[in-house]
Structures are given as structure tokens and as C-alpha cells.
Structure 1
Amino acid sequence: MNANEARDDLAYMRSLVADTEHSQRTFGETYLAAGLCYGVQMVLHGFQSLGWVSSERPVAPLISFGPTVVFVGLLMWILTQRRVPQAPTAVNRAVASVFGSVGLANLVLILLFGSIAWRQHSLLIWLIYPCVVMILQGMAWLVAASLRRRTWMSVVALGFFLTGVGMAFTLEIPPAYVAIAGVGMIAFMAVPGAVMMRQAHRSG
């Protein structure tokens, strides 16, 4: 191995463990926004199932569609902030690919579970879909933990796995199902997002 090859290998190894402030902050902000929006939505659905919040108009549509409207608005704001983009590292590209693939898989699963639930007229079948989403999120975080060698990311992955299993075991108990989903989204989406934002701020 000559000197040039050694330098190239060293640069590659550094890229495997390096994070850019820009990509980490953007990811953290997006995850925090999603966790808060949809976590609060699940909690409100839980309140509806207990009769503490109205399930009639105009409250019900606001709970069903409001969080998505808010999240899309926040996402547009996050993506259009004026930051100087940095060249993505190998790890950033790999992690982004994993989460991007999970997002695409989620869309396919919506069609899969949605079509079956509609044909069978079964809400129970549709409720399995969010459980699977939690498991896929856990898988993505497990890959990220392996690539970035962050123990706390493994904890997040485990949290998503437990959330998905907990939701599956409470499919027929709506208050428990939505409570587990809401707590899981806040604990394993919003909190990790905030952590990544704080880390990016420290390194910036």
C-alpha cells in the first residue's frame, strides 16, 4: 500500500464516523416535529376513546388532519432554512438511504394494509399497520446505531420495537393502543430529535 492509498483509506474511515452539523440538525428538527405532532395526535385520540375529548365535528377532523398540516408546514420551514449545506459523509448517505427506504416501504404498506382492511371491512387489520411502522423505524435506528456506533441509538431502536409489540398486544383496547403509540412517538421520535439538535448545536 502506497502513501496515497493510505491517505484515501484514512479519509474513508473518517467519513464513516463523521457527522455534519447541517444534516444532523435537519434530521433532528424533522424527527422532533414528527414526534410531537403525531405523538400529541395519538394522545388526543386516546382521550377521544375515553370520552374526554369530543369525537364530533369540528374537533374530530382537527385531530385527524391538523397534526399532518402542522407537520408539513414545519417540514417546509425546516427544509427552506438558510443554512450552508455540507458535503454528506458516507454514514450520512447510508443512514439517509435507510430512513428513505423505510419511508417508501411505509407508503407501500399503506396500500397493502389499506386495501385489505377496506376489502375485509376490518379496522383491526388497518391498526396492524402502525405496529409495523414502529418495527421498521426500530430497524432503521438499529442500522444507524451500527453505522455511527452510538449506544443511545440502539436504545431508541429497542424503544420502537417495544412500542410496536405493545401496540400489537393492545389492538382491541383502543385507549391502551393509542396511549402506547403516543408515548412511543414522543419518547422515541421527539426526544431523539431534540438530542440530535442539541448535539448539532454543540458541534456547530
Structure 2
Amino acid sequence: MGRVFFKSRVAEPADLAFARSFPGEGPRAQASAGLVFFWAGLLYGLQTLIYAAVEAGWIKVPSSYGLCLAIGPTLPFLGVIVYVAWRERKGKGGVATRALTACYTSAGLLNLIIALTFGWLAISRKSTTIWLLYPIVICAMQGAVWYAASLIRRKLWLGLVSAGWFLTTLALTVLMTHVAAYLFCLGVALLVLMAAPGYAMKQSSVRERALETLRTEKSVNTGSDTDPQAAREALAFIKALVDRGEQVQLSGGLLLLSGGLLYGVQCLLHGLDMSGSLRMGALGHLINGILPTILFLVILSVVLWRDRHKTHANAGSRAINAAFGGVGLANLFMNLVFGYAAFTQKLWLIWMLYPISLCALMGAGWYVAAVAQRKLWPALVCAGWFVTAVLLAWRVETPEYLLILSGALVLLMAVPGYLLMRSDAGQRA
């Protein structure tokens, strides 16, 4: 990768401009994000607290005002969105802006898919429990995002926000049978963990903009923009962000390939057994239940042992570790949430919502990859995961459910893993 960034002195000014889009657009993007977070947390937090008070019997809202309460926060929030979009219409469209837009859009797509699937299942099965799981899943996703941000930026308060979202996930799970307390907890979380961090981001962006202005004025006065040595030093920073890409691509591809094949075959066998096409028996179910995990852990151990001497100290590897750590934490908490809810409610359907949530999460992740890399095949994988989430909700509690999941694991996990391995081999050559 270093050859790309240090190919010639002629290319240094253009590459330096690309590098500086990260710190240059950071405060602007942070201000916009902070503004959106602040108003979303404030408006919807207050709305949820009012619903909690109504549910508890503390206040009464006339039916004529019910619609106003339902849509009231959305109208001013849409105004905030329009204002932010208008203010940013002439902003720079560099890599930082593109990454921020991709993250927001992927979160919106994830929210849309979860809302559609959970909402449809809640209505068709006449289950309030399913609909109450929707905010819990979103809280787990928020925890994952803030966790990644805390590791990448190395700021304690971001980690505290992440911990707050994960604790909220657990609290909402326990309070599902007490709707008033559930709504009160959610309302407080929106105010404390969304509105307050949004305000903090806005204030931080003001300070960072002031520092960036001072740096720009200093570089103009000293002429550092035209200094080749200064260009090389600045480019060394951006090189660190991507320097480990080839190193982790082979390992990540191998894990995706093996995981997709092993668990894809597992779901296929379970689906064939449910449809009556195959009879595995008690021993067969036991082997099919634990063997894929044992084999995957063996492969994971081999990969970790092989990569044990590779350093992961730079910003690029730290970002990758943070992303995988956030997804892993979200996966862990969703396991606890759906497992606890399914056990206490004695409803197997709730556990089958877990793969639907994971498919939506995978789609969001691949969307960011598609926008960042500007490649078609990650976009197709993203679309495939979102379609899979909808199909699983449609065929839930049927043998086709596991067959659809099996096909998705092979086509949307194993095949992309193979493509990543091939891409890594081509880059090494």
C-alpha cells in the first residue's frame, strides 16, 4: 500500500489533500451529527417519557391529542434534518463526509428493516412482546457504534455512552413485562445517551474547528503546504489508517468462508430434517448442533496463532478491531436478550427473531463497505442480507426459514470470504 501513497512527488499535493480531508472535515461532520443526535434524543426522549406517564396513569392525554403526541416529535426533527442537509449542501464531499453519510444511511436502513420485520410479525402474531424487542435491538446497535467510536478516538466518555446503551439493553429486556417502567427507562436513555452526547459533540466540534483554523493559518504563513517533507509526514498518518488492510483481509476472508460453509450446512441439515426430507435422530441433532462450532473454533485458533506475531498498533488495525469488537458485543447482548425473552415468554418465535436482526446488521455493515470502497459486489452482498432479513420474517416458523438462512450463509458469507481471499492473493502477487 505504501507504493500508492509514496509513488512520486508530483502526486504528493493531491494525496495530501485527500489525507487532510480526514481532520479538515471532522469538526464539520461532528457538528452535524451532534445536532441530529441532540434533537432526536430530546424530542423522542420527551415523547417516550410522556407515554410512560400515560401508561402509569399519572397523566391523561385526550384522544384528540393522541395523534399530535404520536407525530409531534417527527415534524420538528424532519426540520432539523432539512436544515442540516441545506447547511451541508456546499460542503466538501471528501472521504470523511462520505463515510459519515454511509454510516447514517446504513443505520437508517437497519432501523427500517428491523421496524418492518418486527412490526409485521407483531401485528400478524398479535404480540406486543415482539414490538417491544425492536427498541432493545436498536439500543444494542447503538452500544456497538459508540464502543467502536470510543476505541478509535480513545475517549473515555464515548466508552461510557456505549456502556450506558448496553446497560439500557439489559434493563429494557428485564422490564418488558412492565411497560410503564420500560418506557420510562427508554425515555431517560434517549435524553442521557443521545441528546447529551449530541450536545457534547456540538461543543467539541466548535473547539476542534478553532484549532483547525489556527493550523491552517499557520501552514499558510509558514508555507508548509508546499514542503515535500511536510507532505510525506502528513501522508504517513493516512498510510497508517490503511496499512493493515492486506494483512487482515486474508484472515477475515478465511473466517467468513469457513463460518459461512459450516453454519450454512448446519442450517441446511436442520431445515431438511424439519421438512421431513431427512431424519437425523437424536445423535445426529447433537452432532450437527456442536460440530460446526468446534470446527470453527479450531480454524479461529489457527488464524490467531498464525497472526500472533503481527502487530496491531496503528490506527487502521485499531479501527478494524473496534468494529469487530462492537459487532461481537452487539451479538452477545442480542443473544442474551432473545434468549431471556424466549425463555420467560415460552415463545420459540422470539428466538427466531435473532437471525433476522443479525442479517439486518450484516446488511448495514456491507453497505458501509460498498460506499467506502465504491465497488459493486459489496453492494450486492448488502442487498442480499437485507432481502434475507425480510424473507426470514416472511417464512418464520417454517422449514423454509432454515433453508433460506442456509443459502444466505453460503452465498452472502462464504462466497464474499472467498472473494476477499482471492483479492488478498492478487494484491500480494
Normalised by the length of structure 2, the TM-score is 0.44
Question: Which has the larger displacement, 117-126 or 150-159?
Answer: 150-159
2:259 aligned partner: 34
2:273 aligned partner: 48
- Structure 2 counterpart SS, 1:57: helix
Shift of 1:88: 6.9
2:390 aligned partner: 165
Cα distance in 2 for partners of 1:188, 1:133 equals 13
- Given the superposition, is the C-alpha separation of residues 99 and 139 from structure 1 closer, same or farther in structure 2, using an over 3 Å criterion? farther
1:102 aligned partner: 327
Cα distance in 2 for partners of 1:191, 1:109 equals 26
1:133 aligned partner: 358
Cα distance in 2 for partners of 1:142, 1:89 equals 25
- Given the superposition, is the C-alpha separation of residues 95 and 161 from structure 1 closer, same or farther in structure 2, using an over 3 Å criterion? farther
**1:72 corresponds to 2:72:** no
| Correspondent of 1:25 among 250, 254, 277 | 250
2:135 aligned partner: none
Letter in 2 for 1:71: F
1:187 aligned partner: 411
Cα distance in 2 for partners of 1:185, 1:148 equals 22
- Given the superposition, is the C-alpha separation of residues 82 and 95 from structure 1 closer, same or farther in structure 2, using an over 3 Å criterion? closer
Cα distance in 1 for partners of 2:337, 2:354 equals 9
1:20-73 Cα offsets, whole Å, 9 max, x none, are 332110000011111011111111111111122224221011111111111111
Letter in 1 for 2:412: F
CA RMSD across the alignment: 2.2
- Structure 1 counterpart SS, 2:306: coil
| Correspondent of 1:142 among 367, 382, 389 | 367
Shift of 1:176: 1.1
Cα distance in 2 for partners of 1:117, 1:143 equals 32
Letter in 2 for 1:98: A
Cα distance in 1 for partners of 2:233, 2:353 equals 47
Q: Is the 8 A contact 1:102 1:137 kept in 2?
A: no
1:176 aligned partner: 400
Q: Greater relative contact order: 1 or 2 (C-alpha under 8 angstroms, separation 6 or more)?
A: 1
Shift of 1:90: 4.5
What does 1:75-86 correspond to in 2, within 5 Å?
75-81=300-306, 85=310
Q: Is the 8 A contact 1:138 1:159 kept in 2?
A: yes
- Given the superposition, is the C-alpha separation of residues 76 and 37 from structure 1 closer, same or farther in structure 2, using an over 3 Å criterion? same
2:284 aligned partner: 59
1:197 aligned partner: 421
User: Is there any run of 5+ residues in structure 2 with no aligned partner, and where?
Assistant: 1-218
Shift of 1:145: 2.7
Shift of 1:19: 5.5
Q: Is the 8 A contact 2:259 2:296 kept in 1?
A: yes
User: Is there any run of 5+ residues in structure 1 with no aligned partner, and where?
Assistant: none
Q: Is the 8 A contact 1:38 1:67 kept in 2?
A: yes
Q: Rg: which structure is higher?
A: 2
Identity of aligned residues (%): 35
Letter in 2 for 1:180: I
Normalised by the length of structure 1, the TM-score is 0.88
Cα distance in 1 for partners of 2:274, 2:346 equals 20
1:95-114 Cα offsets, whole Å, 9 max, x none, are 44223211210110010011
Cα distance in 1 for partners of 2:377, 2:331 equals 24
Cα distance in 2 for partners of 1:56, 1:74 equals 28
Letter in 2 for 1:24: Q
- Structure 1 counterpart SS, 2:282: coil
Q: Is the 8 A contact 1:32 1:192 kept in 2?
A: yes
Question: Which has the larger displacement, 12-21 or 22-31?
Answer: 12-21
1:120-177 Cα offsets, whole Å, 9 max, x none, are 111101000011011111112222333333332222122111111111111132x210
Aligned residues: 203
Q: Is the 8 A contact 1:22 1:83 kept in 2?
A: no
Shift of 1:93: 3.8
Cα distance in 2 for partners of 1:142, 1:96 equals 19
Cα distance in 2 for partners of 1:7, 1:148 equals 24
Letter in 2 for 1:203: Q
- Given the superposition, is the C-alpha separation of residues 159 and 133 from structure 1 closer, same or farther in structure 2, using an over 3 Å criterion? same
Question: Which has the larger displacement, 7-16 or 53-62?
Answer: 7-16
Letter in 2 for 1:116: A
1:123 aligned partner: 348
Shift of 1:194: 0.4
Cα distance in 1 for partners of 2:359, 2:337 equals 16
Letter in 1 for 2:416: P
